[in-house]
Chain A
Amino acid sequence: MSSSVLGILLICYSSRGHQLVFSYPSDPKRVRGTSRDEQRSRLPRNLPGSSVGQPNEVPEVRDGAGRDTLREGISQRPSTADLERAKACLRPDAEKFLGFDTHFLSDILSPKVALCDRQFQLTVDDVTFIGHPTLLHADRPGTGHRFARMIQKKRLAAHMGAAAPTSTNLQESVAPGVTITPSLSDRSSSDPFLKSANSPVNIASAHQLSMFNLVFAMQPDRGQCQVDTMYKHVISKITAALKYEQLKRGYIRKEAELILSIKDEAQVKSLERVRLSDVMDQVLAESTLARCLAHIYNSITNDSVAHVVVNSSVDLSLHIPDRVSRPLALTESTTLARPKYAFGSEDTGSPILRPYHALLLLYDPEEILKALPLDPSPLLVELIQIVTPTQCFEELQTTLDCSLSQLYRLAAHLVHWQKAKIIDVISIRNVYVVSQGAELDLLPRLVQDFNSRFPQLDLPTILSDLSIPRPYSAIIPQKEFRTLYLEVLTFLLRYNLVTQLHMYIYLMIPEHICGKTVMGGEAEAPGPPAVFIPDPARATEVEREWINKLAYEHPPAIGSLFLRLAPYFSGKYHVEEIVFRENLTKKDLRTILSRFREVVVSALLP
């Protein structure tokens, strides 16, 4: 989904005016622009609604960016586009991003004060720019003035008596205080933001930064909610971190100057035909900010977690919470309402954890430990080191000597950061089948990985064996291989190649009983059970009487167990849950199921 992000831009507004300091990647591609044009040109015009729901539209040649994609999409002469690109390479000052002139972009993406310090959103044709233009003036309340002053005081206190502070640091930290008077007077004029050229140049720092705007260019395919998610989970966080670092250490200004100087240098050299990608390489090599933004872009487009430490100081983990691949197979139930479990808070969106669940790490422990923030809880580290999918939370809490709720919280963290998932404790008695979402097209790569871990086994054969639902033990040839096959299972679950099937149980009652609340004149002959009772726990009196009667036909022990279990036979609880709740063995349950097979139906579901 996040492939809708086209690129990241950083715009700075200083006394030098607005500038597009950094944009990534160097050749952003539109996701839909081209394909849509292509598709449209392919569609026969005379089909009903051939313009797909846009009958008002008359095909028109779009200019600017639109033309670029149109040309690339349709025209048979790719040479034009190549030529243009070549030209752009030759003239770095006319650099383009998504077909927009960079100077133009930095202009429209540095809005007036009234639109600053809040979500900023601008859509031009089909590209949406979203950011949070952040004012850095210290002369307005709420823009960091008090904070900057606090820092200043601390600094002064720290430097008191010590050696003279390094010049740049001092300049940066004092500058906000110094500029109060001139810029305040400027602000009161109706033209905000020193857009007029005669902005007072501060002597202390020639290029004082007054605003920055970190912008994501997107082509959302699922509308506004996608844009808002990106803003909430990524843009606002990284912007806050950048603001902090700028106010505290002048980070953005320093990095911006570095990047711009590299670009300027390249511009001078442009006569010697410096390729644009080389400039990008150099910028990425030298600027930590550029590297950080590029890393975020790459992670977001790959749907993974971006872990960055802004200016080696602010620790950020950014990602779009994945609503699709949530553990516990909550996925299927979203379309048709199905209360997965009658307990636990489902609204929170966090997986429901049970003591019989286990935690499956999606990466090797060392890898996860490396990616952790700088100061992880010791318990978390210990958990990552010792956890195995064969040990359920209940056992784990004794091993780790902590409470279940502590354990749940840690597990939820790892799940949120896509480092682990929640599964039932793996066991050779469980039933696993190839999961519907298994990415078989990745098979060649997976086979390679698999062979390096299990050279004696063949992945396609195992998947082929797991195409039929049966206990996992059925595919293990010999007892000695049990441990090996459990490791294989861990691998399969980790790559989502197989899912566990659970058995759900439904209870049938005769049709003439169903829904009745009072005893009727029992005229009909009691036929075979023909109706399913949606929720045996809430059976009517007549229905319950029928169930009781059924139970009494069996030995008392069996009968009373059946009565105890009947409320679970609604299809809401799987066997593992029932066994856990009633503290039974699976064998007990199997006995009931076979004794009452006339009235119960079971289904195997993921």
Chain B
Amino acid sequence: MDSFQGFPLLLAIFYSEFHPTQGPKVTFEVPENFVTSASASSTSHGASTAISLQSAQTSNSSPSLPPATLMSQPSAPEPILDFDSISEYIIPKPELCNRLVTISTPYYKLMGYPVSIKDQKYERNALLFNLCFVFEKDANTISYEQVVRKMARVLKSLEVESEFLSNANTKGAILNIMEQLLEDLNSYSECQIPINDANMINIKLFPKYPDPPPVHDYQVPVLIVDLEKVMDKYWDMTMRRIVPHINGVHFVRKIAEIADVDVTLVRIAIQHLLYYGCVKLVDIFQFGNVYAIRPSISYLLRSPESQAECVQFVAQPESSPPAFALLFSLYCALKPGLSIREWTEENHMWALNIDVRRFILYGVIKGFVYRVHKYPVWLARPGEHLGDSPNRQLKRYLDGRRHYDELCTILGCNARELDEILKTEPSVKFIWK
């Protein structure tokens, strides 16, 4: 979630088309003269070709073969964007049309969406154009993908509806659109461009986060953001039914039951909240659980703010807050093989003003405490068969992939009941991890 690095700088936009007589050419560009092309202007013909060839040559002045040669970047003084070298990707053959195409040049990364409209009325029976966005070579352009697609779609429909691009009177307006796009997207990450009475372009850049992990029925969502405040009546109905039941205690399956919503929908809704960083998923808190700490716990010692936050989070309401050193030594006392029940007794937790559930929750959410799950494992020995066992169905699940929380959710029982069942099977081993 936190990996978002801001939107990349949009360096230039150019509108390119297939000219009936001149072939592929750059018709409009902002800023001016950003794209060099041999065929575009006759005056610069020789010069620009020479430059492009030169740049290709300087790139490889060392004749040896090791990776050093391959990796070396040309040290040409001025980064140029040579249209001729990439025109086959900008104004491409039909196979590449109507697809999002990104091509890297020595200095830039170009993203375009070549559009071809077939119609008898055009001189070559088709109109082929591409509005290309230019970025720095290493830019992360993923957030612009939708923008480029949308602009291609808008221009295409404008052309189909009102011959916006092929009519010489209206065509010039593209340049204005491009100028505004370049300026607004870089400054405000969004823009609104009226085109004519009927059309308006609305564009906003959205950060792209990685896909959220799958949500399991046995996981407990914990709100990180106060959704009740943000939510209004226009929100999705399912979401509005689910959110009030997200209390850091109920697990997904239970939320589905209480809210009377299909569990698949709950999972999807939680996944959405996860995507936008509104919830974190933790395990079901029970006193039979085992937790352990990670090395990152040392971070707490170096951050007075986190210490204060921790103290405030775990303290029982209306009582004097515990000392941080106490909390820290309590965290250090968590270890594999020690259930929370035992840990509570060992440390006389009832005498301390600490909410044990919130104490564990804080550590789990911050990531320095993790749940040590109990995995019942049953492996068929030679000569042993599933068929002759009373818990045949259950044993199928005991392959080391499923822990107690998951099994209990599947079977609809609690941990103690599962213990009772498995006690009758001496060949089942328990592995904690």
Contact = CB atoms under 8 A, between A and B. Distances in A.
Interface stretch (A164-172, A383-391, A402-410, A431-439): A431-439
Contacts of A119: 104
Interface string A381-422: 000000000000000000000000000000000000000000
Contacts of B85: 111-115
Nearest to B330: A601
Interface residues of B, number: 103
Contact of B337 (A121, A467, A570): A467
Contacts of A463: 377, 429, 431
B299 A337 contact: yes
Given A467-B336, A603-B297, 13 more contacts: A57-B149, A64-B95, A104-B93, A124-B101, A141-B61, A142-B62, A144-B65, A240-B69, A332-B294, A434-B336, A434-B431, A467-B337, A532-B301
A508 B325 contact: yes
Contacts of B67: 236-237, 240
Interface residues of A, number: 108
A464 B101 CA distance: 54
A232 B296 contact: no
Contact of A114 (B56, B69, B140, B204): B56
Interface string A99-143: 011001001100111111111111111001000100000001111
Contacts of A187: 53
Contact of A336 (B92, B211, B296, B401): B296
B301 A506 contact: yes
Contacts of A69: none
Contacts of B93: 104, 107
Contacts of A601: 328-329, 332
Interface string B135-168: 0001010100011011001000000000000000
B316 interface: no
Interface of B is mostly: mixed
A190 B368 contact: no
A101 B2 CA distance: 39
B88 interface: yes
Contacts of B146: 54, 56-57
Interface in A33-92: 42-44, 46-50, 52-58, 60, 62-64, 66
26 contacts: A44-B238, A47-B269, A48-B235, A49-B275, A55-B206, A104-B95, A114-B85, A115-B86, A118-B106, A124-B96, A124-B100, A140-B60, A142-B62, A144-B63, A221-B210, A236-B70, A240-B65, A332-B296, A434-B336, A440-B375, A463-B377, A504-B298, A506-B301, A532-B328, A601-B332, A603-B297
Given A147-B64, A435-B433, A63 B98 contact: yes
Contacts of A192: 53
A46 B236 contact: yes
A571 interface: yes
B99 interface: yes
Nearest to B296: A336
A70 to B, nearest CB: 14
Nearest to B325: A530
Contact of B379 (A101, A145, A222, A460): A460
B10 interface: no
B102 A122 contact: yes
Nearest to B48: A190
Interface in B359-404: 367-368, 370, 375, 377, 379, 399-401
A244 interface: yes
Nearest to B52: A114
Interface string A335-361: 111101000000000000000000000
